[in-house]
Amino acid sequence: MTTVPEDAVKGATITAAATVPAPVDTTPPPGVVKSARRKLTSPVASIFALLIAVVWTIPTFGLLVSSFRPEDEIKTTGWWNAFTNPDFTFENYQEVVFGESSSSGQLAAFFVNSLVITIPSVLFPLAFASFAAYALSWMRFRGRDWIYIGIFALQIVPLQMALVPLLSFFSRGVTLGGITLMPAWQLEGSERFIQVWFAHTCFALPLGIFLLHNFMAELPKDLIEAAKVDGAGHARIFSRVVLPLIIPALASFGIFQFLWVWNDLLVGLIFAGGDRDSAPMTVRLAQLTGERGNEWQRLTSGAFVSVLLPLIVFLSLQRYFVRGLLAGSVKG
């Protein structure tokens, strides 16, 4: 039996160890991070950011000033002339919101329709996405990862591609081999709200599940295991442990969904129609643009009536927005 000298073994070990590449530290030096942070918070950067904000706000401010000006002044002079010759009135808002003539906006009824459409279209995706995200994060079952990949892939499908099949589903039902699996919905008037709720819920679920899953997956595993040791089931863990911890993510997705549904024109026009019983406010504003496009005083005031509620919602919950969107994007 041939023996290998001990010096040869040590030499081979040293050579093998030398050939293994050392792990590369990609963490930026602390000095680089501090320097970048110092530059971004410098007076020059603050002034530059303030300048961008002012330039971005000027058109909106001009729209606001124009909404309070009389019709003849809007059509003859620029909004900046209001400071040299101030003449403001609330008549534009009164006509747009409470006017009863066909030429007025009549936005009061459409404002209520937008509320009826938006509130359920936010609550339904929040509830369903929360349940699905919890199941994909903390419940073990076969095919879980593939289901999550499929839901993630649905985000790249354009909304417009689903409009025609979904409209056919509502108007014709589902038929397979001559057998009617589901009859046509045949909804009229205010019943069309159901179609809009269904459509907005379907379109919102992929993004909602993705955001909430990223947040839930970062929760401490020991917290969930401790609740299971105490005898808590999934329903109790979700309601007592997980739900209070995901409030930032829920608020973030809720704001995003609220703004999306409130400002939506395409889905509301297709599934709710253009009548006063079910059409949202965006549909009426589009009609005003087409029918009364030369009456700027009504268009400007109508635009600010539609912006008011989303602005209140965003400002009241903005502290959760960025924190919820960034949840789960980084580790550590």
Question: 260 and 166, same structural domain?
Answer: yes
In a domain, 19, yes or no: no
- The tokens describing 38, both together, are 């110092």
Residues 6 or more apart in contact with residue 142 via CB below 8 angstroms: none
CATH of the domain at 160: 1.10.3720.10
Question: 266 and 226, same structural domain?
Answer: yes
Question: 61 and 206, same structural domain?
Answer: no
Question: 259 and 133, same structural domain?
Answer: yes
The total of structural domains in the chain comes to 2
Question: 133 and 78, same structural domain?
Answer: no
Question: 210 and 173, same structural domain?
Answer: yes
In a domain, 2, yes or no: no
Name the residue type at position 121: S
Per-residue pLDDT of the chain (332 residues; tens, 9 = 90+): 455 455 544 454 444 444 444 444 445 555 655 666 666 677 888 888 889 989 988 988 888 888 888 888 888 888 888 888 888 888 888 888 877 666 666 788 888 899 999 999 999 999 999 999 999 988 888 888 899 899 888 888 888 888 888 888 888 878 887 787 777 787 777 888 899 999 999 999 999 999 899 888 888 888 888 888 888 888 888 888 888 888 888 888 888 899 999 999 898 888 887 787 888 888 888 887 765 566 677 788 888 888 888 888 888 877 766 665 555 444 44
The four Cα atoms 179, 185, 186, 190 give a dihedral, to 10 degrees, of 180
In a domain, 73, yes or no: yes
Nearest alpha-carbon partner for 272 in 285, 260, 282? 282
Question: 163 and 244, same structural domain?
Answer: yes
The four Cα atoms 210, 211, 212, 213 give a dihedral, to 10 degrees, of 40
Question: 103 and 84, same structural domain?
Answer: no
Question: 205 and 63, same structural domain?
Answer: no
Domain carrying residue 79: 33-89
In a domain, 64, yes or no: yes
In a domain, 7, yes or no: no
Are the C-beta atoms of 68 and 89 separated by less than 8 Å?
Answer: yes
Question: 218 and 116, same structural domain?
Answer: yes
In a domain, 295, yes or no: yes
